[in-house]
Structure 1
Amino acid sequence: MTPIFRRLLLVVFACGLPLMAVRAADPAPPPPAFQEGKEYGKLTTPMPPMVAGKPEVIEFFSYNCPHCHDLEPTAQEWLKRKPNDVQFIRVPVSFNPSWEVTSRAYYVAESLGVLEKMHRPLFEAIHRDKRSLASEDEVAALFVENGVDEAAFRKAYKSFQTETQMRRANQLVQRYGVRGVPMLVVNGQYDVRSPRMFEVVDFLLAR
């Protein structure tokens, strides 16, 4: 063995590299659980969060929408486990005049502090009980049945606050390009397209 080769062997072993050994390549990282363009998309024009610095999820929905009704139990389960710092914001859409009535009902319930009481009954009256909630009187009757004062309901239904919230909701529908519901938007950047909507939401929030 020549002196030069002997020195080469000492250098190789000192570096911890066995002679003639080839290190195996690191395994490829697993593919993401959900893929952009498939389970979610990126908004053409990202929007700033409604509460600066807070992660947020916006649900565009309508009480008149059967798919929104079907999603609601999953939404309720997700709300029980969502991180405390995540803002969940519902925005009712008004694609036609009858939907505007129930959108107003959402904001009336919110302003009267009875949203938790009325949210599910509004869904069930339409989709389980097949009731028409296409007028102020029909919605007022449902509120009264659930213990809400009728005079308070009618005052809130026509209030400046409700009008302002309706205009704001319509503006958000336009800004986010909502064409169908339910639609979930995460952090003003992504819209969720998968049937596993809240699993995708968790995936995006974790990014």
Structure 2
Amino acid sequence: MPALDVLTLLAHVALGTLAVVVGAIALGSRKGRKTHVSAGRIFVLSMGLASLLGALLGAMKYDPYWLTLLAGILGASFVTSGVLAVRIHVRRAKNWFVAIAGLNVLNAAGLMTAGWYATTLPDARLFGFAAEDYFFLFGMAAIAFCFDVRMIFAAQISNRHRIAQHLVRMCIGFFIAAGSAFTGPGATVFPDAVRDTGVLSLPELTIVLLMLFWLWRTLRHPRPAVAGL
């Protein structure tokens, strides 16, 4: 493997690992407090860079990193839009959502096409990844696009909804990072005995459960004041 590819891969792995660690701190800490804000900023930076490097790696060496290209684009879009969600009232924020929505719909089309093509192959795998992997990420990209459309066309949005959008987008970005580390390509660093137990799926399950918990905490309060877009 060329030296540039190796350096890109190492940087991608290192930043992805950092994103998983600080993402866990941000998700588990009290929202709005100093620990959450500080860990969240590091998560956005590390996850964003890891996603971009993953996309770059996939562009440079599509076999076997084609899925990494598409997942990288998706991860970067989630953390970027997660930041924008809490700043939706800022001027030109809606224009950024238009651009992100366009990127997500193109990414969704690419994932659907890759998944469909994989189903036509003898082993239903494309560049080493099963058709289900592409369809799963397609579902995430489609959800992201629907969220983006909601933010673009809403005349106004409550603070509660704004925080909920931020939470879901960041958690899905975190889910992608954890999935890559524990059940995706990163799983190869663990012994077969560990992988066979299914314990590596627990981080992803934990993220989903914590996301639902914090969504419940966010949405159960009376509707706060409305912030204009």
**Higher share in strand:** 1
TM-score (norm 1): 0.27
Using CA pairs under 8 Å that are at least 6 residues apart, name the structure with larger relative contact order, 1 or 2: 1
TM-score (norm 2): 0.25
Structure exhibiting the larger radius of gyration computed from Cα positions: 1
